[in-house]
């Protein structure tokens, strides 16, 4: 039986039994079945927890972890807003308004140049970028000494014929989207 129907039936029985108790001059009874009480208690306990944050972090984008060779990484990667990250074979890169993940900040886009390195475990490739000393442009220009020049590394995925580099951005308790860069598989 549907929980709403059950609790609705219980409410009806509770009201009519309360009226009967009142007519007989007896005390008001707590006439709710244990399963409904348990559901109500769990609901009451869950509401404050959801106000404190999410139970899980944003899931990764669609795709399977993949190990990529440097030649497959050395291409132009594009994010959803048209930002690009061009990884060159010589280990340098050029970024143009590309999404990055730094600490708890969200929605950061950086432009600049620097170097990149590949890391790989048995299942997946990771790409770390490090912006040059006078880079990146577009973040905390009032306090350039506080700029973290190495954002979080990107993880590699394959989804069909599309390769992806992605990183979670922003506070994991919020619904910020992941930063996802794509390139056609070669």
DSSP-assigned beta bridge partners for residue 124 = none
* CA 94 to chain centroid: 26
Residues paired with 114 in a beta bridge: 93, 131
Q: What is the mean pLDDT of residues 145-171?
A: 84
- Split at pLDDT 50, 70, 90, the class of 89 is very high
Average pLDDT over every residue of 123-128: 96
Whether residue 72 has pLDDT greater than 70: yes
| Residue 111, both tokens | 């432009």
């Amino acid at each position: 039986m549907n929980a709403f129907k059950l609790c609705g039936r219980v409410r009806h029985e509770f009201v009519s039994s309360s009226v009967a108790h009142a007519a007989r001059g007896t005390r008001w009874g707590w006439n709710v079945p244990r399963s409904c009480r348990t559901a109500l208690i769990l609901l009451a306990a869950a509401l404050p927890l959801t106000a404190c944050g999410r139970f899980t972090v944003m899931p990764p984008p669609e795709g399977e972890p993949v190990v990529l060779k440097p030649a497959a990484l050395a291409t132009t990667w594009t994010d959803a807003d048209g930002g690009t990250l061009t990884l060159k074979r010589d280990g340098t890169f050029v970024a143009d308004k590309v999404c990055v993940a730094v600490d708890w900040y969200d929605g950061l886009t950086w432009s600049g140049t620097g170097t990149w390195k590949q890391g790989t475990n048995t299942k997946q490739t990771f790409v770390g970028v490090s912006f040059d000393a006078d880079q990146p442009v577009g973040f905390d220009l009032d306090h350039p000494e506080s700029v973290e020049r190495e954002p979080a590394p990107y993880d590699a995925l394959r989804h069909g014929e599309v390769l992806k580099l992605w990183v979670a951005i922003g506070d994991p308790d919020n619904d910020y989207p992941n930063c996802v860069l794509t390139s056609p598989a070669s």
